[in-house]
Structure 1
């Protein structure tokens, strides 16, 4: 976990504890809730690309009330060297491994601070009253459903690791000079295994050609006997997720009936619980969009972030970029929006063309272009080496945090129930 998030969490908890000890009034509680909203806003605004950040700096400061409003953020999509739109522009790369890790860190920090606002210094009976007696169980139910997404995401990271292993074989074969037929054949086999490790499965989508579900490691055509020997262990990862399970439907399930509080519920703790619900749904949606998961068809329509809320403007900006990229990539059968996956897939396709049409000697200009692609592939493998294991650790931490927080809140609710029961 990123050290900065832990430090901020500790400072936040300390400020709330001190304030509640000093100011036992409604004004002090309102200030705590405003502080939580500012934390949500800042955490996700920090994840925006630079052009969005500049726009967000013009947003009005949070007013001293809980009814905050701001329009959604609009920003043009950058283009890559081929003229295609891409979210991967600027000094901070959206949807890279490092960015996903920061997203998880932001969620873990905000989740801890939500529990501080909800529970620190309160009697258990306070969170067992209406409307919290209805809103909190809804949040805990979403947390349970999010656990399945965490499992699917872990499986998706394993799929990316398989791609990385095949890419490293390609780099090892093509970095050596002079070329031999054996090196080219070895690279071609690894490239075939890499590109066929993530395929579109439309067998169960009869009559619905626009819907796709991703299946990992189902084909090994073109692979050597050594590669085929390794394929079964990769294919076995699919046993972690039921065949009928759908990431898109799971996201839709946790986002259903997520309505903002109204009337007397639009302030105070009810609003805070709603905000945490939105944050949970948003983070699960972003993870599924970035990392290969089973059946993500139509994912872009399953995320209800309130565009009029100031605390949500960072999430709205991120959502806009991801949804636009998802819409474009889905039509091409993309394996996921994670930057390293997009690049490794594109380079692999280019290198397949090179391997299939290889002739010796190579033209000097073509050899330079080829060498640059191999070097870029090697750099992506290095980033994956540095980032994928820590990412899996954070996903595991996310899973356990959801379990522990749910258990803790249920214990508090249980205490509230016991204290309200009259003694016989």
Structure 2
């Protein structure tokens, strides 16, 4: 999309041109109004928050703590945006501002389905965590490791592999998900992870995360100069919040297992928005992560999912070489792998619950913000 020339407008969009003062006939060189200053502060806040997210190193990006921070960013932006809406009821009742804000609320309704399937995806990861728990407590004991403990661990690892393969195949072959390997095995072993549906419990069988993201981003373009002028800059605030919503939902879909996760969503935003650079940089980094050979068919780019796969693979390779009675060297090797697995297990145990609650809070905050916003603008 070609860059939009914002230079003809007043102080209400100063934030779109960093370190450059812009004066219009309306402002006449005077200090900006409180409304203009608040709109500028909102742009700066979004830029600062996303710059902080973009500063994460490769080990932090897409980890549970980083996703927490991403959702905190959304909630913070949402709160500031709600304040802007409540203070500008008069303008938001008039065209074209009313159209912009209504489009945002329509996008936010579509985001509610994404929140629901993300919570289901977190529950799926929790099932994988339970299989790690079985392995961890079976082998992490002060006693010598026996054949029964190894057999129990191997069964848990097989169930874990079935569950993860099922989710991968269901995502890569959306139309044929009922014929996936894990689903067939679920009929044979009702205690295995194969019985956990790849389909979300919260949406229909035909629901697609990729299509939902397309719907959220449909017609999401920067406001034109005359629209910015007619809304005293409010159109820029609405566009900014819409883009924050869009990016956050896309990132959740990229990170957490959900049906039809296609990530080939194009982000078009002029870099004259001061928050555009960190958002586009994060988008590119996440896409690069998805292109890595070991992540191409992943059921989610969450860092901890990759750690589950690595730990499970190492444990499987190790248990395949075990013969009884165990030598001290082999038992020591098992204990070392179990310690590594324990770090991943406790990270999931401590992180998934708070993450699920935060996704729930995002859901409820979107609902409340929409209800209050619609009430305030009549």
From 258, 272, 280, give the equivalent of 2:245: 280
Residues 193 and 224 of structure 1, relative CA distance in 2, 3 Å threshold: same
1:98 has 2:65 as partner: yes
From 115, 127, 130, give the equivalent of 2:82: 115
From 182, 185, 190, give the equivalent of 2:148: 182
SS of the residue 2:264 aligns to? helix
From 123, 136, 153, give the equivalent of 1:158: 123
From 208, 218, 228, give the equivalent of 1:256: 218
- Deviation at 1:178? 1.9
Please list the CA deviations of residues 304-350 of structure 1 after superposition, one character each: whole Å capped at 9, or x if unmatched.
45444222222222212111112336864212111111101121122
TM-score (norm 2): 0.81
- Partners of 2:46 and 2:275 within 8 A in 1: yes
Equivalent in the alignment of 1:132: 97
- Partners of 2:85 and 2:373 within 8 A in 1: no
Please list the CA deviations of residues 30-83 of structure 1 after superposition, one character each: whole Å capped at 9, or x if unmatched.
2111110111011111112356xxxxxxxxxxxxxxxxxxxxxxxxxxxxxxxx
TM-score (norm 1): 0.73
* Counterpart Cα distance in 1 of 2:184 and 2:221: 43
Unmatched 5+ residue regions in structure 1?
Answer: 1-23, 52-86, 207-211, 415-424
Please list the CA deviations of residues 197-255 of structure 1 after superposition, one character each: whole Å capped at 9, or x if unmatched.
1321355547xxxxx99989735569877x34x865x4497432311111111111111
Equivalent in the alignment of 2:365: 401
1:270 has 2:235 as partner: yes
Residues 300 and 367 of structure 1, relative CA distance in 2, 3 Å threshold: farther
Unmatched 5+ residue regions in structure 2?
Answer: 1-29
1:292 has 2:254 as partner: no
Equivalent in the alignment of 1:410: 374
Equivalent in the alignment of 1:9: none
Equivalent in the alignment of 2:41: 35
Give the alignment of 1:383-394 within 5 angstroms. 383-394=347-358
* Counterpart Cα distance in 1 of 2:198 and 2:173: 20
Residues 358 and 258 of structure 1, relative CA distance in 2, 3 Å threshold: same
- Partners of 2:114 and 2:209 within 8 A in 1: yes
From 275, 281, 304, give the equivalent of 1:311: 275
Aligned residue pair count: 341
Residues 182 and 362 of structure 1, relative CA distance in 2, 3 Å threshold: closer
